[in-house]
Structure formats: structure tokens, C-alpha cells
Amino acid sequence: MNYQSIFRPDLFRDQVFIVTGGGSGIGRCTAHELAALGAKVALVGRKAEKVEAVRAEILEDGGMASAHVCDIREEDAVKATVKDIIAEHGGLNGLVNNAGGQFQAPLTGISQKGWETVVRTNLTGGFLMAREAYTQALSKTGGTIVNIVADMWGGMPGMGHSGAARAGMVNFTQTAAVEWGASGVRVNAVAPGWIASSGMDNYPAQMRDWIRSLGDNVPIKRMGTESEVSAAICFLLSPGAAFISGDCVRIDGAASQGGRVWPLPKAKNNEPFNGFHRAYTPKVLSDD
């Protein structure tokens, strides 16, 4: 089987895209869809085995991909990695700023080190990747950047460090869209809500029941799929979004739109879209 994208197969033929956090979850799915649409995908991650595994999957499916180990929190490493990618592929057309991470804790339980680690990953690292993609390539040729943030509207209790960083990334998106627009560079953000993705397995066992109940708090009464996020990312990278910049698309089934106070009836007609042929159910959501 191949990726069942809603877009035409040659949409990104011979274009080069960086996908950070490409070794798992939404990044892995997006990398597969971009490759299925003809792109050369540069997978960036901290763990070689993860990005190499996804690279092998893409090559097995007939796509084109390279794997690069980089800690996006380190400025010199980011500069060198972006330079290497451009040299290897002969250019750069866009960046999917997907890498991120956080841990569950109330504000009073977050140390300065814990706070700064999450902010460096979810905000500073994204800034560094975007800045280098722009200064080394996109400022000369034009291109697109999509920053992956999160549903942090109304606060992010239990993950305040991530909420603050993600809100900062949305503001960075808006600023970059203005400053870099004259170069032909569009910058947008995508804010996934509760998505059934491998990242859910990183949380402690005591959060299992809460995670499994998240879909009940979404107006359409289910979690999203990685494919539903990837489809929005691919659209924002595409020529069809040529006049969209500085925006943030929420992919959360309207969970951020008042569901906490409006009673949610039983849902119907809410079948998910899942075009990712290599998708798998997170262990925390499995009945096994």
C-alpha cells in the first residue's frame, strides 16, 4: 500500500522539505505524505535510529528521504544541519517545524530547568530552524514554513511550560510572516488538538484513563488522526495556499471553541480521514 493523500501525486515533485521531529508521530506521517507527493524529505531528529527507520520506510515505499541528527536547541548544530541539507539536496523549498516535547506537571511542580528545557525545544528550536531555513535558502528563492504548535487557547493546565512556548510560536509565526513576506516566504502554523499519535505513549501510566477519555470532550466525539494534521500541513505548503500567511489553523474538531461549557450530545457522521498506510494505534489507546 501507498499513502492515500487527497492531493495529486506530483504536487511537490523535486521540491525539498525539512521535517523536524520526523522520526515519529505527526512528523513521520507528514514526511510520508510529502514523499508520496514527490518531495525530497530531510528528516531531522535527535535520535539517529528513529529518523533512519522512517527514512527506510520512505525508501521502501519508493520515495526520497535523507536522515539528519540534530538537537534543534543548539544554534551551531542547526546552522550546520541546514547547510548540509541544502548541499545534499541542492536547495530548499520549505520547512515543517514539528519537533517538540513536554512533560505533565502543574506550574508549581516545574523547575526552572524543566521550564527552560521545554521552552528551548518548543520555541527556541523552532525559531532557530526557521531562521536558518530563511537566511540560508528561502530568503533567496521564496518558500514556505509551517510551525506545529498546540491547542493552548484558554491556557494549558498541567503543561504550562508548553502552552507558553506554543503561544510564543504563534506570535513568532505572525511576525515572521510580515518580516519575510517580501522575500516570497509564507509562514503559517497548525495547532493540533487531541491526535491519536505515538506521543501519547510518552506520558505516565496514571494518565491512561484521562488520555482515553479525551475524544469525549471533542464536539465531534473522537480524536483526530495524524493524516488529518498532515493534510492541513501539505495544503499550507502548497500553491493553493499562496495567499495565506501569518495564520494558525486549529485541527481539533472544535474542541477549543467552547465545548467546555456547551453540552455535547452524542455525535454522528464523524468518520475520520486516515490516509497513512503505516499508521498504528498508540499503545495507550489500544485494548490490548
pTM (two decimals): 0.91
- H-only helix segments in the chain: 25-36, 48-60, 75-89, 112-119, 125-133, 139-141, 160-180, 208-212, 226-237
Can you say whether residue 224 is alpha, beta or left, with left for phi > 0 and alpha for psi between -120 and 50 degrees? beta
Which grid cell is 81?
Answer: 544541519
Residue 109's nearest CA partner among 150, 159, 70 is 159
In a domain, 4, yes or no: no
| Side-chain half-sphere exposure of 60, counting CA atoms within 13 A | 9
Please provide the DSSP assignment of 121-175 as one string.
Answer: IIIIHHHHHHHHHIIIIIHHH-EEEEEE----TT--TTBHHHHHHHHHHHHHHHH
- Residue 264 amino acid letter: L
Comparing C-alpha atoms, which of 207, 285, 203, 218 is closest to residue 250? Answer: 218
Distance CA 227, CA 277 (A): 10
Per-residue pLDDT at 126:
97
Is there a contact between 200 and 211 (Cβ–Cβ < 8 Å)?
yes
- CA–CA distances in Å: residue 83 to residues 8, 12, 17, 137, 287: 30, 21, 13, 9, 45
Min mean pLDDT across 70-74, 85-89, 236-240, 273-277 is at: 273-277
- Please give the mean pLDDT across all residues of the chain: 92
Instruction: Tell me whether residue 41 is in a domain.
Output: yes
Domain containing 197: what range?
A: 16-251
| 60 three-class SS | helix
Distance between CA 107 and CA 93 in Å, rounded? 39
Helix (H, G, I), strand (E, B) or coil at 83: helix
Asked if the model's pLDDT at residue 8 lies above 70, the reply is: yes
CATH number where 22 lies? 3.40.50.720
Q: Are 55 and 229 in contact (CB under 8 A)?
A: no
One-letter identity of residue 255: A
Whether 29 is covered by a domain: the verdict is yes
Q: Is 186 exposed, middle or buried (0-12, 13-18, 19+ CB in 10 A)?
A: buried
Least confident window among 41-50, 62-71, 76-85, 251-260: 251-260
The total number of structural domains in the chain stands at 1
Question: What pLDDT score does 101 carry?
Answer: 85
Residue 269, domain member (yes or no)? no
Structural domain contains residue 157:
yes
User: Is 141 domain-assigned?
Assistant: yes
Mean pLDDT, rounded, for 46-52: 96
- Taking residues 32-57, what's their average pLDDT? 97
DSSP state at residue 238: S
Contact 175, 217 (CB under 8 A): no
**Least confident window among 151-160, 227-236, 270-279:** 270-279
**Is 136 domain-assigned?**
yes
Task: Pull the grid cell for residue 272.
Answer: 475520520
Q: What is the pLDDT of residue 81?
A: 98
Across residues 187-211, what is the average pLDDT?
81
Sheet hosting strand 16-20, strand order edge to edge: 64-69, 40-45, 16-20, 94-97, 143-148, 185-192, 248-251
Answer whether 173's CB lies under 8 Å from 122's CB: no
Q: What is the pLDDT of residue 288?
A: 57
185 has pLDDT over 90: yes
Q: What is the DSSP letter of 59?
A: H
Please check whether residue 285 lies inside any domain of the structure: no
Closest listed residue to residue 139, CA positions, set 194, 192, 82, 101: 82
Parallel/antiparallel/unpaired status of strands 143-148 and 185-192: parallel
- Residue 283: all three cell numbers together: 499503545
